[in-house]
Each structure stands twice: as structure tokens, then as C-alpha cells.
Amino acid sequence: MTHGVERVVGDILRATFRNPKESAYMAKFALASKAASRKRISAEKEGEHIPPFLIASITSQCNLHCAGCYSRCNHATVDTVPVRQLTVGEWLRVFEEADDLGISFIFLAGGESMIRRDIIEAAGKQSNILFPVFTNGTFMDENYFNLFDRCRNLVPIMSIEGEKEITDARRGAGVYDQLIRNMDELHSRGLIFGASVTVTTQNIREVSSENFLKTLSDRGCRAVVFVEFVPVTDDSKDLAPRDADREYLAGEIKRLREEHPEMVYISFPGDEKSSGGCVAAGRGFFHINSHGGAEPCPFSPYSDINVRDTSLRQALKSPLFQALQEDGLLADDHEGGCILYEKRAQVEALLRR
């Protein structure tokens, strides 16, 4: 995982080379990332494993109803303001402890993350950590543009499904045009951003095409995160990539990394194959939901410990996490895609143990 982090940081440095402000911050972050790696290596020698990544779902609220959304199907995302979500102070404590432990990247997610401006502002003050902010883009405004300019460790990652027709079909009319306006404004201000693409059988060729990716690159996009669609209902199973689709995407990403170093390409769970299987449950990352529950992964929403009641370090020692790592469920011996989703009955059995 340390080599993987170094590759990602190196890719980011190359992608921001021609942007003075961004490259200046990224050079500082590279030093902070090396220091964090040393902390993790030191902990490993003492028998304690610290992952370099954390996913933080800072709210359960969202304003969109995207077709096939796993989070809504799991009732993890709602329309109204949920009760008992972690406060900004509680999230700040999580961020500070993550820094102390040597966690280098915290992915801010939701719901719709930009609803919680207070938490994103708090994250901006933790300069040793890079915070990709995953967003549907509909809350982007002047205040956010200014915040991203002040705090270069906050990098907006906007969800897009391909061109206008397929994006609006899944996310709602007008969303694509809003995303393009956001990209153009961010680019005009010299701010880097990324795109998150949910890969399905319907859009896999389009979102990996030279034409689509060049459109993003020309607008200033410097990172693309490909996330395989995970079906949570029977009527959406036909959207999940098959083995042939995954093989095709893996080949395209390999080619893109070689031919287009101006962009960072991340594939989930595709990149896990080089790590010997699933890296959830604290192997490479874990998830904290908006109520503080420490979960193996957003696609595996099971928890037996809450960071509201304990430390981040103790959450990583959760009995569920330990059982998942020791029982071999994270090994790469499955049909492909999300291991923990496929083996959810076994995960639930471990939780009841």
C-alpha cells in the first residue's frame, strides 16, 4: 500500500506540474505524505496496521435521486436532515487523530458532501491530509470556489456518468450542464478538480473513450476515479460490469496511465488486484458513516463500533474488522467486483458472532 500511495502522489505531482499554486501545495503534501508513511511503517513494526486512506461520509442527506443509488437502496441516504449525525467538532477530532496516525487521504462523501460546508471548512485546515471532496456538483457556488482557492488540500471530485444524455438520465435534467459550468469556473481560477464515474454496462465504452476523457482534461480535470456499479437490487444487476468489461477497463486504464500522465486514473475495486484482494476493513481504507459507525466499506454498511464513543485507533481494532482480515473474506477468490457485497451474508454472520 505504501508503494501505491507513492505512485498516486507521484501521479498528482505530474498532473499539477504546470499549475504553480497546485504544484507548490502538492510538493508540500508529498513531504507530509512521506512523513505519514514513516508513521505507518513504525506502527507496523509495533504490530499495529494503519491504512493510508479513510472514507468519511459526512452527511446522509442528498438532494438528488440518482438511478440505482446503492446508498439510497441501503437507506444510508435520505432527503431530510438526519438526527444524531457527527458534529463538526467530532469530525475535526477524527481528522486530527487521522493526521496523528499517519492517514494521508480522507475522501469526503455523503449523501451530498457539500451540504456540510462547516465540515469541509474544518477539513481545509488540516493541510497534511489531502481531502478529495466527492460531490454531485449542485451546491458549488462562489463561497466554495473561494474555499478551494484558499485550501488547496480540498479537491472537488464531481460525479459524472459520461456525456449529457447518460449523465442527466441517471442524475436528473440539467445536472450535466451544471457540472460543465463548475469545471469551466474551476479551470478559469487555476483550481484542479477530478471526476468520479460510476462504470456500468451502459457507459463503460463512453467513459473510457479518448473523446470523453479529452473533454474532461481540456476543461482542467486532473483525476478520474472509476467506480464499478454495485447492484443492491435485482432489477439493476444488468448494469454491473461483467468479467469481460472489467478486463477491458483494466486494459484501458493501463494504457491511459502510460499515454496520458497529465491525468491521475484510479479504479475501484480494479486497483485492488495489485494489493492481493480487497483493501477494505482497515487493510487499505475503512469507512465512517455520518453517524460515526466505523464500517469496512460504503458498500458493506456494517458496524460494531462508533468513533463517537471511542478513538479512531480503537475503531481500527474493531472485532468485525479483525474477523474480516483473519477469516480470509478479503482474499481475491471471488467472481470480481465488490467482494464484501458478494459475501454480505458471511459479513452479517461475523457481525452476529
Considering only CA atoms, which of 261, 29, 41, 24 is closest in space to residue 130?
29
Cα distance between residue 249 and residue 336, in whole Å: 13
pLDDT digits (tens, 9 = 90+) for 17-66: 677 778 888 889 999 999 999 999 999 999 999 999 999 999 999 999 98
pLDDT at position 343 is 84
pLDDT band at 72 (very low <50, low <70, confident <90, very high): confident
pLDDT at position 274 is 60
pLDDT digits (tens, 9 = 90+) for 270-328: 776 666 678 899 999 999 999 999 999 998 899 999 999 999 999 999 999 999 988 87
pLDDT digits (tens, 9 = 90+) for 117-151: 999 999 999 999 999 999 999 999 999 999 999 99
pLDDT band at 6 (very low <50, low <70, confident <90, very high): low
Q: Is the pLDDT of residue 165 over 80?
A: yes
pLDDT at position 20 is 77
pLDDT band at 189 (very low <50, low <70, confident <90, very high): very high
Cα distance between residue 316 and residue 9, in whole Å: 24
Q: Is the pLDDT of residue 255 over 60?
A: yes
- Single-letter code of the amino acid located at 103: I
pLDDT digits (tens, 9 = 90+) for 213-253: 999 999 999 999 999 998 777 777 888 899 899 999 999 99
- Single-letter code of the amino acid located at 196: S
pLDDT at position 314 is 97
Q: Which domains are present in the chain?
A: 2-352 (3.20.20.70)
pLDDT digits (tens, 9 = 90+) for 97-113: 999 999 999 999 999 99
pLDDT band at 333 (very low <50, low <70, confident <90, very high): low
Angle at 127 between CA 28 and CA 17, to 5 degrees: 35
pLDDT at position 252 is 95
Take residue 51 and report the three cell numbers written for it.
491504512
